[in-house]
Structure 1
């Protein structure tokens, strides 16, 4: 698999965005089975995790006041069915600490202001909170792997469309396949022979997964079409998508 890259979010921004909409994550510590994580919230060089109260990571964190080395693996998946749904893999490294039970609710209320999640309601009902003091991260995509420092993660912000992107991609794939065809005419000729599917949307542009015909030597590929300039709201996003499709008078593309 390979990827054509033009204007795009930074690696740190991509990590922040993927963590905001995490659908699959695990935390691993030495000598124990990885524990599932239902939420990852990044703030000020730290990662706050929601995790089962009876997991191995929770027990290990409770046994030490010094913290324990840990790695969080976040899998960023496309919101539609693809031959390979993974868009990126992210590894967050740092030191795991238990959050005192009497602070969990206050922290959850603060987190919910920036990162609303139904999983926060599970605190005290089978779920607990852990904190990871981050030392760095790695993100792997079709384009390769890159290291990101904790300082870069602290400065980065998630994409403004993170909360609605999944619905928009699903709507575009199921209801507007003709627009995908129109936009795919802008792809390099070698990429027009496979099945083109929408993969992601951000303020810089739209990404597609081109699923090859699986002949010998064929590979799926990811390609990005950039907007003329970064967009900041849904109105600008709609205009930018219509421009890529060559249909300036179409109704708004993003789904409600």
Structure 2
């Protein structure tokens, strides 16, 4: 019999989604300790734009080796909250002052991050003494690796550029919190669809994407992650609502009343 495969996000899609969800990241630079960077954006040329405090950017030697680390946390409390780590290794370069504003505008069209307003440009207003200021740098990528409960895997920059973040990645935390706190009956119905051996222990929603819902099973012998796949990938809230009803075994797939 042919093997039936369940669609899941590609490695590149998972990394793109993790980049969107990560509010902050750490940048480890040769000769210096890790520093927090509130801006870490994949540009169309395959490099990452990263923001570092101006005092760090001022002393930068172009071509310095650096490692960008992004942490993807579970939206709900679980025993091991880190779902995955993304490591981007490469070399840092300064961005010409005249090009900074244009790059900030490009980033803002995809990610209106408030920290962009704190990046210095030639026309920046005088900084407030209490407001951190950042310099924008470019990370020329040498390698990208993601690691999670299944192991570590590298991905090409070309595949990252071709992939898109999951359509629900920015609202995933809100959706799962809503499910867990307001619709615990829905969660219970979904959990009942898991294989019986995986229902022993504490089961919590771990993730949600266009391909399905993931659960973390916390048992005395360790943790396991399991996916309930949708009947087909979905791209909007209507499709997501219907897909969850199908998983639940709900007869009212389109919100219709049963016939009398």
**Is this a same-fold pair by TM over 0.5?**
yes
Aligned residue in 1 for 2:116: 120
CA contact (8 A) 2:40 2:50 kept: yes
Tell me whether 1:46 sits opposite 2:47 in the alignment: yes
| Separation in structure 1 between the aligned mates of residue 207 and residue 231 of structure 2, nearest angstrom | 17
Residues 113 and 248 of structure 1, relative CA distance in 2, 3 Å threshold = farther
CA contact (8 A) 2:90 2:143 kept: yes
CA contact (8 A) 1:27 1:71 kept: yes
CA contact (8 A) 2:85 2:146 kept: yes
Q: How many residue pairs are counted as aligned between the two chains?
A: 239
| CA displacement, residues 145-172 of structure 1 (integer Å, 9 cap, x when unaligned) | 1111122112111111122112111111
SS of residue in 1 equivalent to 2:137: strand
Q: Using the TM superposition, give the Cα deviation of residue 41 of structure 1 relative to its aligned residue in structure 2, in angstroms.
A: 1.0
Aligned residue in 1 for 2:123: none
Kindly report which structure 2 residues correspond to 1:184-203, keeping only aligned pairs within 5 A, or say none.
Answer: 184-203=191-210
SS of residue in 1 equivalent to 2:92: strand
| Separation in structure 2 between the aligned mates of residue 60 and residue 10 of structure 1, nearest angstrom | 38
Aligned residue in 2 for 1:151: 158
Gap regions ≥5 residues in structure 1: none
SS of residue in 2 equivalent to 1:198: strand
**C-alpha RMSD of the superposition:** 2.0
Q: Using the TM superposition, give the Cα deviation of residue 50 of structure 1 relative to its aligned residue in structure 2, in angstroms.
A: 2.3
Aligned residue in 2 for 1:220: 223
SS of residue in 2 equivalent to 1:70: strand
Equivalent of 1:237 in 231, 235, 240: 240
| Separation in structure 1 between the aligned mates of residue 39 and residue 75 of structure 2, nearest angstrom | 17
TM-score w.r.t. structure 2 length?
Answer: 0.85
| Separation in structure 1 between the aligned mates of residue 113 and residue 251 of structure 2, nearest angstrom | 36
Kindly report which structure 2 residues correspond to 1:161-200, keeping only aligned pairs within 5 A, or say none.
Answer: 161-200=168-207
| Separation in structure 1 between the aligned mates of residue 53 and residue 99 of structure 2, nearest angstrom | 17
SS of residue in 2 equivalent to 1:105: helix
| Separation in structure 2 between the aligned mates of residue 99 and residue 134 of structure 1, nearest angstrom | 15
| Separation in structure 1 between the aligned mates of residue 183 and residue 59 of structure 2, nearest angstrom | 49
List, as ranges, runs of 4+ consecutive aligned residues in structure 1 with deviation greater than 3 Å: 248-252
| Separation in structure 2 between the aligned mates of residue 80 and residue 110 of structure 1, nearest angstrom | 32
Aligned residue in 2 for 1:8: 8
Q: Using the TM superposition, give the Cα deviation of residue 43 of structure 1 relative to its aligned residue in structure 2, in angstroms.
A: 2.3
Gap regions ≥5 residues in structure 2: 121-126, 128-132, 256-260
Equivalent of 2:67 in 43, 68, 71: 71
Aligned residue in 2 for 1:106: 102
| Separation in structure 1 between the aligned mates of residue 240 and residue 135 of structure 2, nearest angstrom | 38
